[in-house]
Amino acid sequence: MPKSHTDDATAAAPHIVNGLTVHPRKKVNPWQFGLLLLPNFAALLLLAGLGMHRMLRYRDTQGKKES
């Protein structure tokens, strides 16, 4: 007896719907999406930090020229 509905061989087999072969959807693991987005998020934080650092350096040099 299968543990779930997707464990048996017929659940993994493609179905024919209106003459088209339709494969059942795979289970999605939300942690995989998080791991895919993590490098992008880290890069955005890094770019924001570098931009803020450069902006502060620019403002610091502009303030010294006026006095």
Q: pTM of the predicted model, to two decimals?
A: 0.41
What mean pLDDT do residues 49-53 have?
A: 94
**How far is it, in rounded angstroms, from Cα 64 to Cα 59?**
9
3-state helix, strand, coil in the chain (%, to 5): 60, 10, 30
Q: What is the pLDDT of residues 8-45, one digit of tens each?
A: 555 667 788 888 888 888 888 888 777 777 788 888 89
The HSE-up count of residue 63 (CA atoms within 13 Å, CB side) is 6
Contact indicator for 23, 14 with CB cutoff of 8 Å:
yes
Contact indicator for 34, 42 with CB cutoff of 8 Å:
no
Domain extents in the chain: 9-66
